[in-house]
């Protein structure tokens, strides 16, 4: 554990193996924390909050600068570890998993440097202050990216924190904790307690000295965290499940829209909460869409994640492998048309949690594979007869995290985007932006990450009446 500026032994004896999903063999063993370790970490964070919350903006900017630089300096180590602990293809880990994680720190630093922590409304001063001690619970699918998306803005806001990374992909989190130590983080400002959700996650969520919980995970996990947090009335920010639609409008360029849609749905082997895993297409173009989608999937290279030519490694763990196989079986049983992929591992791969990139077509919107988050390389193609029906299908799940719209008439595409009930909508595959707020409607969660809105999640609002505008400036 990393607590109060030091690496310390846990108070319990429990251990867990870290499994390489490409071989199904253990590659490391980690200590699992207990509620007592959480108590120690929270106490350290509470002590550190007194000074950190009123530290100068400049000192926090400089710290984040150092963290950003160290992540980039150690990028290859992070990429290798991420590939080993959760199966990301090494090329993808290098090009995406690590660089976008670093971007979250850079953006938090830039937002901090210019954020107005004190504004005026007549004779009322509006102060934005750090909310306090934050518990951060992160998942296994984007292990470093999800850590920096929370840690960066929390530190920028002046919060102190306790991080609980997933016990299934914990090694990149330990490397990150070393970065924090080497960057000179003051004792107690950043703490890390490895462990399971039922033990460490529950203890953090219920802890009376934790002011806020931010979780990225399944909707089920988010509900459990919210229930545990409710008695202490702490803020709970949740980035949860998704079943994102990709609406291909009738005028879309199919040769561009469909291959990019397949790639987006199956990026990170489909293990992204916002992956556009429902491709909603005009019925009159269904056969052409099927042909192009099949060709696109055929170009993927599934195999050893450390091989340079691999585009898609295994899914991250046995439970996820079993879930994907179960849902593919359900899709077949439901009568969806299997274009490619299917049950079992790809040929020539006898071990490892490898799944076959799978595309179903002629999927009915109420089928399980169109309603439930699968979190694997499975795409459902759903036909529609009118744009109104396409919008109804797009909105027809309990989720509302992300969405995509493809069309050449931008006014029409924007009109459809305005009707989609989700926290983000992407028109014609724009570049990813760390400034765009990210979060969900409905059961996809509460709150926002990334950009200014991500910083503001970690701030409280204080109004001071009778505060003269000429009074001495106050900064967080």
Assess whether pLDDT exceeds 80 at residue 205: yes
Same-domain check for residues 166 and 265: no
Res 468: pLDDT: 72
Mean pLDDT value across residues 16-41: 98
Assess whether pLDDT exceeds 90 at residue 333: yes
Mean per-residue pLDDT of the chain:
97
Mean pLDDT value across residues 205-230: 97
Provide the token pair at 185: 């983080």
Residue 473 forms part of a structural domain: no
For residue 25, give the 3-state DSSP assignment: strand
Assess whether pLDDT exceeds 60 at residue 474: no
Mean pLDDT value across residues 410-415: 98
For residue 26, give the 3-state DSSP assignment: strand
Please state the pTM of the whole predicted model: 0.96
Residue 432 forms part of a structural domain: no
Assess whether pLDDT exceeds 90 at residue 230: yes
Does the annotation mark 273 as catalytic? Answer: yes
Integer angstrom CA distances of residue 200 from 104, 168, 192, 414, 469: 25, 14, 11, 43, 45
Same-domain check for residues 233 and 256: no
Same-domain check for residues 155 and 180: yes
Selected catalytic residue, list 85, 167, 199, 239: 239
Assess whether pLDDT exceeds 90 at residue 204: yes
Assess whether pLDDT exceeds 90 at residue 196: yes
Mean pLDDT value across residues 93-121: 98
Higher pLDDT, 472 or 345: 345
Does the annotation mark 355 as catalytic? Answer: no
In DSSP terms, 361 is beta-bridged to 337
Alpha-carbon span 180 to 71, nearest angstrom:
10
Residue 414 forms part of a structural domain: yes
Same-domain check for residues 25 and 108: yes
pLDDT bucket at 470, cuts 50 / 70 / 90:
low
Same-domain check for residues 268 and 353: yes
Mean pLDDT value across residues 226-250: 98
Same-domain check for residues 140 and 209: yes
Domain holding 217: CATH number?
3.40.605.10
Residue 377 forms part of a structural domain: yes
Assess whether pLDDT exceeds 70 at residue 469: no
Same-domain check for residues 195 and 264: no
pLDDT bucket at 310, cuts 50 / 70 / 90:
very high
- Strand 212-216 versus strand 278-282 pairing type: unpaired
Provide the token pair at 171: 């090694």
Same-domain check for residues 174 and 271: no
Domain holding 325: CATH number?
3.40.309.10
Res 335: pLDDT: 98
Assess whether pLDDT exceeds 90 at residue 142: yes
Res 471: pLDDT: 47
Same-domain check for residues 215 and 81: yes
Provide the token pair at 421: 């009930």
Residue 293 forms part of a structural domain: yes
Mean pLDDT value across residues 159-181: 98
Provide the token pair at 31: 């200590």
- With tokens 């077949």, the residue in question is 332
pLDDT bucket at 425, cuts 50 / 70 / 90:
very high
Assess whether pLDDT exceeds 80 at residue 1: yes
Residue 475 forms part of a structural domain: no
- DSSP track, 93-161: IIIIIHHHHHHHHHHHHHHHHH--SEEEETTEEEEEEE--EEEEE--SSSHHHHHHHHHHHHHHHT-EE
- Strand 25-31 versus strand 441-442 pairing type: unpaired
Mean pLDDT value across residues 288-316: 98
Q: What is the pLDDT of residues 38-67, one digit of tens each?
A: 999 999 999 999 999 999 999 999 999 999
Q: Which domain holds residue 402?
A: 245-427
Read off the DSSP letter of residue 64: H
Q: What is the pLDDT of residues 341-387, one digit of tens each?
A: 999 999 989 999 999 999 999 999 999 999 999 999 999 999 999 99
Assess whether pLDDT exceeds 90 at residue 207: yes
Res 467: pLDDT: 81
Same-domain check for residues 236 and 251: no
How many domains does the chain divide into?
2
Q: What is the pLDDT of residues 269-285, one digit of tens each?
A: 999 999 999 999 999 99
Mean pLDDT value across residues 329-336: 98
**Residues comprising the chain, all counted:** 476
Give percent of the chain above pLDDT 90. 98
Same-domain check for residues 18 and 154: yes
Mean pLDDT value across residues 118-138: 97
Burial class of residue 193, CB neighbours in 10 A (0-12, 13-18, 19+): buried
C-alpha 291 chain-centroid distance = 32
Residue 438 forms part of a structural domain: no
Assess whether pLDDT exceeds 80 at residue 473: no
Residue 223 forms part of a structural domain: yes
Assess whether pLDDT exceeds 60 at residue 13: yes
Alpha-carbon span 29 to 278, nearest angstrom:
38
Selected catalytic residue, list 134, 273, 340, 355: 273
For residue 449, give the 3-state DSSP assignment: strand
Mean pLDDT value across residues 159-170: 98
Alpha-carbon span 271 to 89, nearest angstrom:
13
Same-domain check for residues 193 and 48: yes
What φ, ψ does residue 291 adopt, rounded to 5°? -60, -45
Alpha-carbon span 345 to 343, nearest angstrom:
7
């Amino acid at each position: 554990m990393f607590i109060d500026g030091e690496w310390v032994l846990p108070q319990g004896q429990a251990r867990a193996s870290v499994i390489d999903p490409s071989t199904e063999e253990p590659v490391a063993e980690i200590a699992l924390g207990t509620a007592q370790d959480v108590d120690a970490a929270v106490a350290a964070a509470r002590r550190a909050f007194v000074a950190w919350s009123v530290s100068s903006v400049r000192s926090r900017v400089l710290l984040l600068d150092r963290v950003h630089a160290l992540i980039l300096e150690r990028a290859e180590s992070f990429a290798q570890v991420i590939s080993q602990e959760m199966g990301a293809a090494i090329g993808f880990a290098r090009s995406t998993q690590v660089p976008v994680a670093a971007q979250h720190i850079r953006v938090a630093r830039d937002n901090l440097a210019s954020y107005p922590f004190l504004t005026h409304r007549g004779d009322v001063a509006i102060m934005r202050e750090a909310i306090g001690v934050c518990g951060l619970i992160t998942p296994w699918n984007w292990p470093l990216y999800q850590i920096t998306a929370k840690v960066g803005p929390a530190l920028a806001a002046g919060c102190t924190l306790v991080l609980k990374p997933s016990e299934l992909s914990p090694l990149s989190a330990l490397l990150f904790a070393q970065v924090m130590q080497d960057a000179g983080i003051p004792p107690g400002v950043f703490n890390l307690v490895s462990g399971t959700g039922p033990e460490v996650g529950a203890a953090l969520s219920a802890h009376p000295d934790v002011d806020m919980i931010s979780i990225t995970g399944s909707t089920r996990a988010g509900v459990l965290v919210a229930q545990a947090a409710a008695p202490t009335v702490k803020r709970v920010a949740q980035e949860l499940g998704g079943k994102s639609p990709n609406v291909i409008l009738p005028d879309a360029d199919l040769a561009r829209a469909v291959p990019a849609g397949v790639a987006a749905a199956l990026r990170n082997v489909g293990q992204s909460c916002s992956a556009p895993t429902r491709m909603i297409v005009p019925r009159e173009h269904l056969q052409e869409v099927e042909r192009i989608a099949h060709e696109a999937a055929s170009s993927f290279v599934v195999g050893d994640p450390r091989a340079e030519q691999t585009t898609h490694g295994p899914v991250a763990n046995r439970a996820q492998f079993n879930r994907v196989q179960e849902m593919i079986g359900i899709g077949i049983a439901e009568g969806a048309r299997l274009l490619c992929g299917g049950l079992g591992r790809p040929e020539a791969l006898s071990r490892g949690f490898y799944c076959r990139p799978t595309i179903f077509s002629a999927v009915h919107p109420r089928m399980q594979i169109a309603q439930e988050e699968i979190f694997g390389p499975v795409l459902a193609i759903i036909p529609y007869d009118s744009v109104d029906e396409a919008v109804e299908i797009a909105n027809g799940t309990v989720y509302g995290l992300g969405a995509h719209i493809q069309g050449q008439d931008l006014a029409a595409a924007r009109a459809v985007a305005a009707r989609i009930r989700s926290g983000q909508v992407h028109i014609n595959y724009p570049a990813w932006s760390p400034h765009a707020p990210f979060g969900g409607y409905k059961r996809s969660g509460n709150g926002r990450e990334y950009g200014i809105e991500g910083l503001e999640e970690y701030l409280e609002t204080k109004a001071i009446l009778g505060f003269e505008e000429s009074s001495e400036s106050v900064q967080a």
